[in-house]
Amino acid sequence: MSAGGLSETEPATPEIQHIVDQVKPQLESRENRTYGIFKAIAYKTQVVAGTNYFIKVQVSDTGYVHLKVFQSLPYENKGPSLVGVQTGKTKDDPLTYF
């Protein structure tokens, strides 16, 4: 993968679930709602000055959201930041750049 391009879609890992768990309060605040289910399903990455993660997250039996999360470089010592969200997604919607 070249810098700036999106990786292939991969199944979510425990590391990706950890990132999702860290940004869940940011999404709940932004959307003014809470999510009982918040399970990372799949993700893509984009290498920039840090990493953008595009993550498909299951939020109900049939509901999904796509999150764009920025993780800065390790020396900056900052946690992940939710920078975008697409709601109303389905299990089969592809992850794309947004």
Residue 26 has pLDDT above 90, yes or no: yes
| pLDDT tens-digit readout, 39-79 | 999 999 998 888 999 999 999 999 999 999 999 988 888 88
Residue pair 55/40 in contact by the 8 Å Cβ criterion: yes
Confidence class for position 1, pLDDT limits 50, 70, 90: very low
Determine the Cα–Cα distance for residues 76 and 11; give it in Å rounded to an integer.
27
Q: What percent of the chain has pLDDT over 90?
A: 79
Determine the Cα–Cα distance for residues 89 and 66; give it in Å rounded to an integer.
7
Q: Name 54's Cβ contacts closer than 8 Å, sequence gap at least 6.
A: 6, 43, 44, 45, 46, 66, 67, 68, 95, 96, 97, 98
| pLDDT of the residue at 70 | 95
Question: What pTM was computed for the model?
Answer: 0.86
What's the maximum distance between 2 C-alpha atoms anywhere in the chain? 39
